[in-house]
Amino acid sequence: MVIGAAAVAAVPLGVVLQRVPAARAAVLAVDRVLLRLAAVLAVAALAVAVAAGAWQVATRFVLAQPSAWSEALVRTSLVWMVLLGVALALREGALVSIDLAARYGPPPLRRAVAAATLAAALSFMGILFWFGWGMAERVRFQQLAGLEVSIAWGYAAIPIGAAFAMLGACARFLDDFRQGSGGASEGAA
């Protein structure tokens, strides 16, 4: 309930930020830097997963001695890639959207759809952040088999990805209004 209330409270804050150019510009500048970082990290995670997967195949089928660490690294890298990629998808409006109302509705309806979409995204990502943080904290003393590092490093992808996604959703909301679309651009999340 607290997360949902915070998400609903964030929408009026977003509306206020839209009307304060300096604040909107600051949020969008932070968005550009942090989401570029998320993109680089997501691509790096994919590259690590591909390299570790290739190593696993080579050691299993060429050397007939499978690597003990590569499968865990592939799995962890893919989790990080996906959760960081969600932030990029939210920012670009590449997730499922309510296109009919967003494209053809009057401006007040488009703003309402954008605000409801933002509240839903923030609520969901807030829940992911809260429970992901708790999970990472609970497993911090357990070791990831094969890698001999804390499992918390894998679970940390959940709250970190959720935080990036919340920033991306807010920036999308602010950017839509800056472009004059009233919160509804083609493919808006």
**Predicted confidence (pLDDT) at residue 63 exceeds the cutoff of 50:** yes
**Predicted confidence (pLDDT) at residue 181 exceeds the cutoff of 60:** no
The predicted model scores a pTM of 0.80
**Predicted confidence (pLDDT) at residue 160 exceeds the cutoff of 90:** yes
What pLDDT sits at residue 183? 46
- Cα–Cα distance, 131 to 77 (Å, whole number): 20
Band the pLDDT of 177: cuts 50, 70, 90: low
**Predicted confidence (pLDDT) at residue 98 exceeds the cutoff of 70:** no
Q: Compute how many other C-beta atoms are within 10 angstroms of the C-beta atom of residue 123.
A: 17
pLDDT > 70 in the chain, percent:
86
Give the torsion through C-alpha atoms of 125, 130, 135, 137, to 10 deg: 130
What pLDDT sits at residue 19? 73
**Predicted confidence (pLDDT) at residue 114 exceeds the cutoff of 70:** yes
- Cα–Cα distance, 3 to 103 (Å, whole number): 29
What pLDDT sits at residue 187? 43
Burial of 170 (0-12, 13-18, 19+ CB in 10 A): buried
- Cα–Cα distance, 52 to 95 (Å, whole number): 29
- Cα–Cα distance, 98 to 135 (Å, whole number): 32
Residue 28 sits at φ, ψ, to 5 deg, of -70, -30
Band the pLDDT of 1: cuts 50, 70, 90: low
